[in-house]
Structure 1
Amino acid sequence: MHLIEAFSRMQVLKIMSRCAPTLIMRFFSLGILLKGKVYTLVLPKTRGPSKIVSIESEEQLNDSLRKAQDESLPALFYFTAAWCGPCKFISPVIGQLSEKYPHVTTYKIDIDKDVLAEALMKLGIHSVPTIHFFQNGKKASEMVGADVKQLNATMEELYK
């Protein structure tokens, strides 16, 4: 067996685009059969389990905020919506970062839940995606929009 190290889905897609679909027998299970040779994909290991908590109620949101503040726990509050294009763009990045920084709890808040309307007004959430970064019991930073470079830089600065 020949090993191909595939570090991203794009590299895997590039491999697949170079061969006819009939030559690909297996993909992401044991490997790829290409021109009579089996190529095994070796994907990178994650750094830890994802710690994304979905907030379903105002009480749960308030408890999570209190926990981040009172216990000085590192936390990220990600305000999003199912219809939001930029949210869909940045959501996988947040998932990857939650694995890279397992000591940081990520709270995902869907702004379209009616039970959260009052709490969102108090927090001043007017746009999505909005991300609040908590460190040492305080909101250390805020990001509005889907700026991946800024998100990575803030995570690195606050939580490394």
Structure 2
Amino acid sequence: MGLCLCKPRARDDDSDHHVELASGNVQLITSKESWDQKLAEATRDGRTVIANFSAAWCGPCKTIAPYYSDLSEKYPSLMFLLIDVDELADFSTSWDIKATPTFFFLKNGHQIDKLVGANKPELQKKIDAIVEPISRPQS
């Protein structure tokens, strides 16, 4: 399982460095306001949120980004968000991010699960646990 320990990093002039981590149906969060808006939207629509706290300089984050993007297209009923821990440092600190990537699973604005590290099988397992009850027919 790969992960990068969070550490202060000098900011550079490359403002597009986080874009490579967000593709497919992954939505990039660029402010606390956009976070609040997406959580409100997910709650209104009854969607579970998967929030990926990541960093452009983190090797494991770059490695899992295409997989995360693929998952976002495979599971359109879920909302996939990406938060760059350097771009939103204060916000990330409020979530007690100690390593990247860290994935939070949220339902109705509340944390229901968490995964630290770029562990593809475990990420898939946690998504399956969320999606299966939704797709099971009601008796």
Partner residue in 2 for 1:33: none
TM-score, normalised to structure 1's length? 0.61
Cα-Cα RMSD: 1.8
Between the two proteins, what is the percent identity of the paired residues? Answer: 34
Is 1:155–2:124 an aligned residue pair? no
Distance in 2, matches of 1:102 and 1:122, equals 28
- CA shift for structure 1 position 65: 3.2
The gaps in structure 1 that reach 5 residues or longer are: 1-49
Is 1:85–2:64 an aligned residue pair? no
Distance in 1, matches of 2:93 and 2:39, equals 15
- CA shift for structure 1 position 136: 4.9
Q: 1:82 to 1:53 in 2, by over 3 A?
A: same
Equivalent residues of 2:72, 2:80 under 8 A apart: yes
Distance in 2, matches of 1:133 and 1:159, equals 12
Partner residue in 1 for 2:49: 75
Distance in 2, matches of 1:65 and 1:135, equals 9
- CA shift for structure 1 position 72: 3.7
Distance in 2, matches of 1:140 and 1:70, equals 17
- CA shift for structure 1 position 138: 2.7
1:59 to 28, 33, 42: 33
Count of aligned pairs: 109
Distance in 2, matches of 1:72 and 1:159, equals 12
The gaps in structure 2 that reach 5 residues or longer are: 1-23, 133-139
TM-score, normalised to structure 2's length? 0.70
Distance in 1, matches of 2:42 and 2:76, equals 15
Return structure 1 stretches of 4+ with deviation > 3 angstroms.
Answer: 65-72
